[in-house]
Structure 1
Amino acid sequence: MLVQKILKAGNYGTKNESRLKISVMTSIAGMLANVFLCIVKVILFLFTNSLSILADAINNLTDCISSVSTIIGAKLSTMPGDEKHPYGHGRIEYISGLVVAIFVFVTGVEFIRISIGRIIHPKHIEYSTATVFLMILSIAVKLYMVVFYDEISKKINSLPAKAQSKDSMGDVIITGVVVISIFVHKMTGWLVDGYVGVLISLFVIYSGYELIRDTLSEIIGEAPRNVVKKIKDSVKKYDEVLGVHDIIVVNFGPQKTYITLDVELRYDMSLVRAHSIIDRIERELEAEFNCIISIHVDPVGMYSEDEEKFARVLKDIVKKNPTVWSFHDLYYENGVLRVDIVVDGNKVHNDMECDELKLYIQSEFEKILKCNYEINIDRYF
């Protein structure tokens, strides 16, 4: 219900869609829920003196800070491009997520220190039925937030919302462990509060580590394998297209993605016809993937007698060597052979191995004709 209201308020799915408004409203809703839970647990801590409950309350407080950071990041990331940043400021959203992740990690480390102190110097704790009830209520609220954040993240492709969904699931586990420790204490009298605090802290640290890893991966440039495959499949649906290669996807934030690729068309197609086809492909891909597309045309289908000989050698290499996937842009003119070889980047690891492969291919070519060779190795993953 809340998800639909927020999406409707942000005009989701229409030409007036406001991703910023959806992000801000999502963060505010999450922040209000976490403030409520934090206050409840601090009050419970004052009555019970339970460090694990306090650790859980502080964890909810970090979630509030996460929501604030998401709001700031969402607003800054929508700033238009300028002279220094012509592609906009979309990646600020990833940086805001990184700040939150570091804060979560540091909080976990600090609570390990406090929890170890409680293990060394245990204190008697009193739990009431109301305490247990409120903690279970907290679990129910967090479970709802898991679904809430997850649905929003899928609708608007939001990394911070996805991280908050994951963090909320962690909160469910954390609070569940606290409730279990309460039952253990009531049934056995064992003072396990400090040990539970350590477990919670370790979980918070791991959550922080995962968020840091995932966010850094986006900032560095994570390989969009699924997107590349979808693009290739979409382009190959056109009858005139003979092949697709050299697909490069670069994003400057969730809403600004640039894609370049090479499309193979028949060599004898007129320039006007080729331009018309490529223009249509670009428009339809931009609508499908919400991106900016640039396509380079490769004419194929006509090899000279010498080029045909080289092509047969390459086809044989592709067939026998699983490291070599394909080849393209094969040209022989003025005593120079040029060709691009596509290889498995997981098997050809560095420039030295690329050079070794070039020498091998060149030795195979020289069995046909000795000339100058320009062999380019494209590593794909």
Structure 2
Amino acid sequence: MAEKSNYKQVRNVLGGILVLNILVALAKVIFGKITNTSSMIADGYHSFSDGSSNVVGLIGIWIAARPADESHPYGHQKFETLSTIVISLLLFFVSYNILSDAYYRFKNPITPEISIYSFIVMIATLGVNLWVTTYEAKRGRELKSSILLSDAMHTRSDIYVSISVIVSLIAIRLGFVIIDTIIAGIIAILIIKAGLEILIPGINILSDASMIDSDNIYNLVIKVPQVQYCHKIRTRGKENYIMVDLHVGLDKAFTLEYSHKLAHEIEDMLKEELEGVKEVIVHVEPADVFNKEKDE
């Protein structure tokens, strides 16, 4: 139930930010088209990609919130991570379009028509992006949501992009028209960087990369008086949903019932001690098995 509430809160955050991103993107693209400012248009498309990522995130969260079923017995949590991968691909696509447009304008220069309204639009949207990034990152940390954190990183790149566009507008007013095209190219590179920063952690989750140092788990489990050894420790998942499995050696004289009870106590202890751990599988084996494996 708590997990479902978590997904609902993430969905509400994404929904509100989607509306803001669409308004910001429209303002930049419309004024960019009116003034023929390629850097502003590029920034507007970047903001539209923010909106697209919000939509992808909303779909991903909707699926991830579904309970486990016959075809997905481990649940649907990875759909949230899959959404972050799609967001990174959207960023790469936007970057390609911006670079193509920048190259065309480099070959066929166009002199933008800059007015005070261009600066007003950029400064106002910059303020909105600063608030969105701060709020979304804060909520992402509170809710341990990879989709909110990756989306906040995506929006953060908008801040640097918007500052670059303001510099571009100043350069155009001073007569350095070529700066507009150069800034558009720099924006594309920043977007590619943001895409990689989202893509790599997502791949790590989907490829079941280790989430917790096995030594930390070993040090907790070995403190249990009945445990003679602990090995084959593995972890996977994402920050707010980590799965752990491990082997522990117990005295072979212990009854099956007692060993089973002890395994559950170890599982509960790890969930309590390690933040984000939701599932633990403890494989119990007689202690002499470990010694036999070492001898072999």
Length-normalised TM-score, structure 1: 0.69
Structure index of larger Rg = 1
Work out whether 1:66 is the aligned partner of 2:53: yes
Report 1:265-344 matches (<5 A): 265=250, 274-288=259-273, 289-300=276-287, 329-331=290-292, 338-339=293-294
Picking from 18, 21, 27, the partner of 2:8 is 21
SS at match of 2:174: helix
Report 1:107-118 matches (<5 A): 107-118=94-105
Q: Distance in 2 between matches of 1:88 and 1:121?
A: 53
Equivalent position amino acid for 1:285 in 2? L
Report 1:190-339 matches (<5 A): 190-226=177-213, 228-251=214-237, 257-265=242-250, 274-288=259-273, 289-300=276-287, 329-331=290-292, 338-339=293-294
Structure of higher RCO (CA pairs closer than 8 Å, 6+ residues apart): 2
1:61 Cα shift?
Answer: 0.6
Work out whether 1:120 is the aligned partner of 2:107: yes
Work out whether 1:95 is the aligned partner of 2:82: yes
Say if 1:30 and 1:67, in contact at 8 Å, map to a contact too: yes
| Structure 1 portions without partners, runs of 5+ | 1-13, 303-327, 332-337, 340-364, 366-372, 374-381
SS at match of 1:79: coil
Q: Distance in 2 between matches of 1:16 and 1:186?
A: 53
Structure 1 or 2: larger helix share?
2
Say if 2:244 and 2:277, in contact at 8 Å, map to a contact too: no
| Structure 2 portions without partners, runs of 5+ | none
Say if 1:111 and 1:197, in contact at 8 Å, map to a contact too: yes
Q: Distance in 1 between matches of 2:119 and 2:198?
A: 30
1:74 Cα shift?
Answer: 0.7
Q: Distance in 2 between matches of 1:111 and 1:16?
A: 39
Q: Distance in 1 between matches of 2:3 and 2:67?
A: 17
CA spacing shift, 1:275–1:95, aligned 2, 3 Å: closer
Question: Which residue in the other structure is 1:314 paired with?
Answer: none
CA spacing shift, 1:75–1:254, aligned 2, 3 Å: farther
Q: Distance in 2 between matches of 1:178 and 1:290?
A: 43
CA displacement, residues 305-337 of structure 1 (integer Å, 9 cap, x when unaligned): xxxxxxxxxxxxxxxxxxxxxxx8121xxxxxx
Length-normalised TM-score, structure 2: 0.88
Report 1:93-172 matches (<5 A): 93-172=80-159
The percent identity for this pair of structures is: 21
CA spacing shift, 1:195–1:16, aligned 2, 3 Å: closer
SS at match of 2:178: coil
1:121 Cα shift?
Answer: 1.3
Q: In angstroms, what is the RMSD of aligned CA positions?
A: 2.6
Equivalent position amino acid for 2:243 in 1? Y
CA spacing shift, 1:45–1:16, aligned 2, 3 Å: closer
Say if 1:123 and 1:191, in contact at 8 Å, map to a contact too: no
